[in-house]
Structure 1
Amino acid sequence: MESEDLHSFLADPELVELIEQAKVSDDILDAITLTENQHSDMLAWCLTPDEGHGQGHSVIKDFLEAAYRASDSAIWDNKKFFRRVTRQC
């Protein structure tokens, strides 16, 4: 199959409509079944800056910044931890 044929197939409006009708969720984790170790491996891949996803530190930085914002009502010392860690990313 030529690459043009593949692009034509994937761009076919009927295929796109069938895919949309078959969707039951927008969350990839609802569409696939992973074991606990596979979940851990996937998270490790996402959060490791030098992996092949090309996002560098942005995934872990965004996660830590969201955790920092969510720690306003923390009863332990989370706010101080997240403040320090997000400055280092």
Structure 2
Amino acid sequence: MSFDRTKPIVFSNHAYDKMIDRGASQHEVIDAILKGSVEPARKGRWLCRKNFPFNSYWRGKFYSVKQVSPLIAEESDRLVVVTVFVFYF
């Protein structure tokens, strides 16, 4: 069971703030929602995950992979990105 990936995707202000703080682009978040793995999260929400090649520096350290993990809430007519987690490996 999962959410309807054909619904429009909207971003909360909090999600935009966290994307900037954590280094994720809007394109990466949308790609993670549409093509990434999905698992159920608390409060009926969904956590998506997708790894992207990075091969660059983030905050002074070199990483080869960036994992973008948006947390979404499915509403009747849209998907709302609540927050975005980013992990570097």
**TM-score surpassing 0.5?**
no
Q: Which structure has the bigger radius of gyration?
A: 1
Relative to the length of structure 1, the TM-score reads 0.22
Relative to the length of structure 2, the TM-score reads 0.22
RCO (CA 8 Å, sep 6+): is it higher in 1 or 2?
Answer: 2
